């Protein structure tokens, strides 16, 4: 269901300097869009829109956890990396860029779940041989699934912890760090892509920095872009090594703007302090980092006016290369303190 509340304001302007369709004094609206039972596990232009929105509109919504449970714990859809949307953005055309400002990303229930073992492809083969079972629990989350440990989310203290001890040496309690795991648009070529991997369209990026306050930039391949979000996380470390991100539902609010006639090669993200480019090449770490590094160079030259030599040397001296998700996403980050005022 969706509700529209008209408001009049200047839409949020993305932080890199391009002309926006939403620029000017066009009225913006606030919409509450919470689908009852229509959710998806593919990024595809074939899915009917949950809502049509204009550049500058403010959307209030909820994300299910990655196994399809809502904020009350009710199972809404039996699937993986469940997506809310799509949101059809009026005026978006192939060759444009979508700018999605995450205004709010908050926990909305007191439990989540996680794995209890690092993914086997992140370990040496000698350690995998004879490793302990990850079937730690009863089938409480879904039938035939025994590798999901329930976690307690303290909404007052904003902490996360396992629901039972895992040893006697550590207190495994961590600060909550709500993040959006999946964000992307309908891919090119009328293709339907599972919500599990990543690609130029975005996808299951699983970066723990996709949090409240950032702007995510996505290329547009289909009319209306068809934006999807999902896979709420309460917290996880770099690499998402457990294969999960303390999976939970989230309250999310976002604003969309549109950058006409200018496309990005890979998804990008911007905060008040840094620029991030994503290499979204599943199971291809070198190619993923190549994509992220190349995209950052293009960004610095096109929007900050750096020379080729300045951009290359800056990355050589100050780039922060990370693995956001072991199987999917590789990032190049640069602190804005190194950049000229724009």
pLDDT band at 140 (very low <50, low <70, confident <90, very high): very high
Fold type of domain 2-109+176-262: Jelly Rolls (2.60.120)
What tens digit of pLDDT does each residue of 284-334 get?
A: 999 999 999 999 999 999 999 999 999 999 999 999 999 999 999 999 999
Residue 297 tokens read as 């160079």
Give the tens place of pLDDT for each residue, 253-282.
Answer: 999 999 999 999 999 999 999 999 999 999
Contact 205, 148 (CB under 8 A): no
Q: How many CB atoms lie within 10 A of CB 274?
A: 17
pLDDT confidence bin for 14, thresholds 50/70/90: very low
Res 86: pLDDT: 98
Domain locations in the chain as residue ranges: 2-109+176-262, 270-338
pLDDT-based confidence at residue 29 (cuts at 50, 70, 90): very high
- Dist CA 222 CA 300 (whole Å): 27
Collapsing DSSP to helix, strand or coil, 258 comes out as strand
pLDDT at 19 over 90: no
pLDDT tens-digit series, residues 189-216: 999 999 999 999 999 999 999 999 999 9
Tell me the pLDDT tens digit for each residue of 73-117. 999 999 999 999 999 999 999 999 999 999 999 999 999 999 999
DSSP string, 87-146: EEETT--TT-EEEEEEEEEEE-SSEEEE-SS--GGGS-HHHHTTPPPS--S-S-SSTT--
Side-chain half-sphere exposure of 115, counting CA atoms within 13 A: 16
Residue 16, pLDDT > 50, answer no
What would the two tokens of residue 221 be?
């391949």
Fold (topology level) of 270-338 = Endonuclease I-creI (3.10.28)
* Residue keyed to tokens 């919500």: 195
């Amino acid at each position: 269901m969706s509700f529209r509340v008209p408001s009049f304001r200047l839409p949020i302007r993305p932080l890199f300097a391009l002309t926006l369709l939403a620029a000017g004094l066009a009225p913006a609206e606030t919409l509450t869009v919470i689908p009852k039972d229509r959710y998806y596990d593919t990024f595809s232009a074939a899915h009917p829109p949950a809502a049509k929105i204009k550049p500058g509109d403010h959307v209030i919504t909820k994300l299910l956890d990655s196994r399809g449970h809502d904020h009350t714990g009710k199972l809404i859809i039996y699937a993986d990396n469940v997506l809310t949307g799509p949101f059809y953005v009026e005026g978006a055309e192939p060759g444009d860029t979508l700018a999605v400002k995450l205004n709010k990303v908050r926990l909305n229930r007191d439990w989540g779940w996680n794995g209890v073992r690092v993914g086997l492809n992140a370990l040496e083969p000698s350690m995998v041989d004879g490793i302990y079972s990850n079937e730690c629990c009863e089938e409480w989350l879904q039938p035939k699934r025994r590798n999901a440990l329930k976690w307690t989310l303290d909404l007052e203290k904003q902490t996360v912890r396992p629901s039972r001890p895992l040893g006697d040496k550590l207190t495994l309690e961590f600060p909550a760090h709500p993040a959006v795991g999946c964000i992307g648009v309908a891919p090119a070529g009328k293709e339907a892509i599972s919500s599990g991997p990543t690609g130029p369209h975005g996808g299951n990026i699983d970066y723990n920095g996709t949090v409240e306050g950032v702007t995510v930039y996505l290329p547009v391949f289909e009319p209306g872009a068809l934006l999807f979000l999902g896979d709420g996380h309460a917290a996880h470390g770099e690499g998402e090594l457990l294969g999960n991100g303390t999976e939970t539902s989230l309250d999310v609010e976002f604003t969309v703007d549109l950058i006409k006639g200018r496309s990005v090669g890979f998804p990008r993200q911007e905060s008040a302090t840094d620029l991030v480019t994503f290499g979204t090449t599943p199971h291809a770490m070198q190619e993923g980092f190549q994509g992220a590094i190349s995209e950052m160079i293009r960004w610095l030259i096109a929007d900050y006016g750096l020379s080729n030599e300045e951009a290359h040397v800056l990355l050589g001296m100050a780039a922060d290369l990370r693995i956001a998700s072991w199987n999917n996403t590789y990032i190049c980050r640069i602190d804005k303190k190194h950049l000229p005022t724009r």
